[in-house]
Chains A and B, each alone.
Chain A
Amino acid sequence: DAEITQSPRHKITETGRQVTLACHQTWNHNNMFWYRQDLGHGLRLIHYSYGVHDTNKGEVSDGYSVSRSNTEDLPLTLESAASSQTSVYFCASSTNRLAWEQFFGPGTRLTVL
């Protein structure tokens, strides 16, 4: 069955370290998104991609980067982790034709100490 996976599911790191969160989807979807979810803020868009080699900044992109070298993967990198980046991170994907239905991965809980 097609799916979207995230790894790791839980991560504890220290301030200043570089961290990469993986997202992999097997639906062959063009569109991929990274969100963070914090209490009281809901889902906030970090970065998104509409296809290979396409990346765009979302509303909270500072301190994060992404690259899209193939259809299946959109890794999210925290260049120098900060305590303010402690959050739950969700990856999602969608097709152009049914863009309103985003399929989400199970999430990664990141703690920055």
Chain B
Amino acid sequence: RKEVEQDPGPFNVPEGATVAFNCTYSNSASQSFFWYRQDCRKEPKLLMSVYSSGNEDGRFTAQLNRASQYISLLIRDSKLSDSATYLCVSRSNDYKLSFGAGTTVTVRA
């Protein structure tokens, strides 16, 4: 079983819409979680960290539910530039990261 599982999508949404998606993790010892963004054929880049209390970064809101072992990302007021693949990432107690396969979001005009 993969350590991090994601719905691959794609999620096709109009500009201005809100889109939300989750990922689940299997290792209860995972200590921290992140969302990375990957544009088509480009390298992944850190989008934001995920905290138990929930955190916002502009139009992006991330949430962690340790009891149910899932992480969510919500994008408000979607822009065309938000079209990308979003990678859910977990980290245990060393310097390695475990990446999900990604959720693809396409924002249409």
Contacts and interface: CB of A to CB of B under 8 A. Distances in A.
Interface string B42-76: 11111001000000000000000000000000000
A76 to B, nearest CB: 16
A43 B99 contact: yes
Interface residues of A, number: 22
B45 A100 contact: no
Interface of B: 8, 32, 34, 41-46, 49, 87, 89, 91, 95-97, 99-102
A99 B91 contact: yes
A41 B101 CA distance: 5
B95 A31 contact: yes
10 contacts: A33-B96, A41-B101, A42-B101, A42-B102, A48-B95, A96-B95, A100-B49, A101-B46, A102-B97, A104-B45
Given A41-B101, A102-B46, 15 more contacts: A35-B99, A40-B8, A40-B101, A42-B100, A43-B99, A50-B95, A94-B95, A96-B95, A100-B32, A100-B49, A100-B97, A104-B43, A104-B44, A107-B41, A107-B43
Interface in A18-44: 31, 33, 35, 40-43
Interface string A3-23: 000000000000000000000
Given A40-B101, A42-B100, A102-B97, A90 B43 contact: yes
A109 to B, nearest CB: 9
Contacts, number: 45
Contacts of A40: 8, 101
Contacts of B96: 33, 45, 48, 58
A45 B34 CA distance: 17
A96 B45 CA distance: 18
Nearest to B4: A42
Contacts of A75: none
